[in-house]
Structure formats: C-alpha cells, structure tokens
Structure 1
Amino acid sequence: MKKLLLAASVLALTACSAPSEPQLTISPEPVIAAQPVANGQPVSIDSRDLRTAQFVAVVDSGRQNVQPIHATQNLRVTLEDALTRQLSAQGYRVTEDSEGTLRLDILEAMVNVKHSVMSHDLNSKLQLQLVVETPKGKFVKRYSGKSERSGAMSASVEDMELAMNNLITAVLKDIYADPELNTYMQENL
C-alpha cells in the first residue's frame, strides 16, 4: 500500500511539472487621471466578449504549423477591471445599482505572428465597443487600434505580450481622452 501511495505521489508531481502551452499575461495600464472630471456620478459596468475565438495570439511558423495562444487570465475580466480603475480615477463611482450602465464589448483582440528562423512580424488588432445606456438615451462608439512590428529571430511570448499590452493601453488612452464619451457621461449619468 505504501509503495502504491509513493508511486501515485511521484506520478502526480511529474504531471505538475510537465511543460505546458505558452500563455500571454495581459496587463494593460489604465489612464489614472490627475484631476477627476466627474463628481461621483454612479455608473454600473458590464462587459461581454463577442470574439469568435477565445485565444489572443496565433503563431504561424510556416508549413501549416499554426499555434493559438490563450491569455493567462480572462481577457474580458482584465479589460473590465482596467476600465473600472480608469473611470474611478476620473471621478465616477462604479456601483452595482446605477440607472446608468456602461457596457464594454470586446469585438477583436488578436496578435498575429508570422515567423521564420531569422525574423518575425507581429500584427496586433484590437476593437472595443462602449455602450452607455441611461434613462435619457444611449451612446455607442467603437474604439480600435492596430500595430505592426518586425524583428530578428522568432517572436517570444514577451514580444507578443508587449504588443498586445501596448495596444490595449493606447486604446484606453483614446477612451479616456474622447470628448464625446466624456460629455455624454457627464451630462447623462
């Protein structure tokens, strides 16, 4: 019995140390406002991931060898958290029971990587949609970004993470600085 227990323990530890598929750590930097623009207006935040595939990167190394790569954490939750921190810094009070809601829809978030032994190309795309609904009306706007990078040797996981994090951060800056969105939220929440 002791030998069986020892064998099972060794097998379990071996399984834990087996190599796993690479994953990307997505951690965008929201814009933290120096001066709040909202006066504690309440807003509820919701989000949906409307992408057809749940991976965030595709690596094509030729000869029909394509590898999808997922994020280490749920992308919808990560982006909702970043947007929540950004809106809180702007002076909005994020709450569960508000008449006004802001919904974040993820339409596209992908890093396409084509690489060979000597070089790689990274093409990143991000498209988000914000829907603000209040008793006074509805505001819908899409925010998108693209980036392209090339480099020597094959692309690393860190290269892909940097490309996606920089792109998400740039789109969050666009959302922060959008006068239409800010005016609508301040006047209608």
Structure 2
Amino acid sequence: MKKLLLITGIVLGLSACSAPREPQLTIAPNPTISNVPIAQGKSLTVESRDLRTAQFVAVVDNGRKNVQPIQATSNLRVVLENALSRQLSSQGFKVGTDSPNTVRLDVLDALVKVEHSMLSHNMVTNVQIQLVAENASTKFVKRYSGKATSEGASSVSTEEMEVALNSLLEAVLQDIAQDKQLNTFLNENF
C-alpha cells in the first residue's frame, strides 16, 4: 500500500510539472538615470494606480476567433512605480512615504496587440501614462504616450513582445525624465 501511494504521488508530481503553462511577459523597463541631479533633496512620495480596464499586457489574435490574452509575470503598476521612484531619486529627489508632495503615476494603457495570419504578423504596442504631481496648494497633470508597430513574415515570440513593451515603456519614462515643464513644476513647488 505504501508503494502504491508513493508511486501515485510521483506520477501526480511529474504530471503537474509537465502540464503546459500559459505564456507570460516579463515587464522590467529600465528607468532613465540622471548623471546630473536637477533637485537638491526635495522630498516627495511616489504613488501609482492601474486604471486599465483589463489587466493583461498582450493579446494575440490567431484568427478564427482564437484570441489569447497574456498576463505579466509581475504587477505592472508596481514595476512602473519602482522605476519612476529610481528615476526621480537619480534626479536628486528624496523619495519617501511621509512627504506632503506626491507624484502619482496612472497606468492608462500598456498593451501589445498581435494579429497573426498564415504567413505574417502585425504587432502594435501602445503605452499611455498620466502623471499627477501635487501638494496642498498646486497640481500638475500631464499624459505621456507612445505607439510602436512592426510587421514580419513569421510568428511573434513572447520575447519579442517583451522587448516591444519594455522599449516603449522606457521611451515614455525617458520623456518623463526630460520633461522641462514637469521638472520646473517639481523644483518650484516641492
């Protein structure tokens, strides 16, 4: 009886290991790190919200009503909040939790859409982020967005989708880092 239980446990364990897993994308954009600080220790708190209607980061349409949504391996909102915090810290801001000054990152869109046909693919990547910087007396709101498209003769791998989304997220983070209006507002009001 013990041998039977042992064999059953091994078979169940091996079958769980060999079960097919749904693909996921690793989202890890690199922030724009500043070599020259623009702020001298001004404090702020970084917050974020995910305002997307669906939580997947990619959707693959293979035709014939076969649409597959793909999730991220980690929470996109948290990944972007951490990247923005590192970016602002490199610019000389003191990022903490008890500041009256807040910078909130709202994720409005972050999606890779892939359409496959028999011999080709079309990939469209969209990112839209809203930044809200505020304290008790003033507020700054601005949207940053990006779009990238690519076509090819073969199917698209999850790695290619990851590169497309991470590259676009990095471009949007770079736009935020280099935004003179935002930097002026933060320096004058925080």
Shorter-chain TM-score tier:
over 0.9
Match of 2:164 in 1: 163
Match of 1:60 in 2: 61
Rounded to whole Å, the distance in 2 between the matches of 1:102 and 1:12 is 47
Rounded to whole Å, the distance in 2 between the matches of 1:7 and 1:30 is 49
Task: Name stretches of at least 5 consecutive residues in structure 2 with no aligned partner.
Answer: none
What TM-score do the two structures reach when normalised by structure 1? 0.96
Spell out, residue by residue over 1:137-189, the C-alpha distance to the aligned partner (whole angstroms, 9 max, x if none).
11111111111111121111111111101100100010001011101011111
Question: Residue 117 of structure 1 contacts residue 154 of structure 1 at CA under 8 Å; is this kept in 2?
Answer: no
Rounded to whole Å, the distance in 2 between the matches of 1:116 and 1:67 is 15
- Aligned residue pairs: how many? 189
Spell out, residue by residue over 1:49-81, the C-alpha distance to the aligned partner (whole angstroms, 9 max, x if none).
000000000101111110000111110011111
Identity of aligned residues (%): 59
Rounded to whole Å, the distance in 2 between the matches of 1:16 and 1:71 is 21
Task: Name stretches of at least 5 consecutive residues in structure 1 with no aligned partner.
Answer: none
**Are 1:150 and 2:155 an aligned pair?**
no
Spell out, residue by residue over 1:58-112, the C-alpha distance to the aligned partner (whole angstroms, 9 max, x if none).
1011111100001111100111111111111111111000010111100111111
What TM-score do the two structures reach when normalised by structure 2? 0.96
Structure 1 segments, 4+ long, off by >2 Å, are none
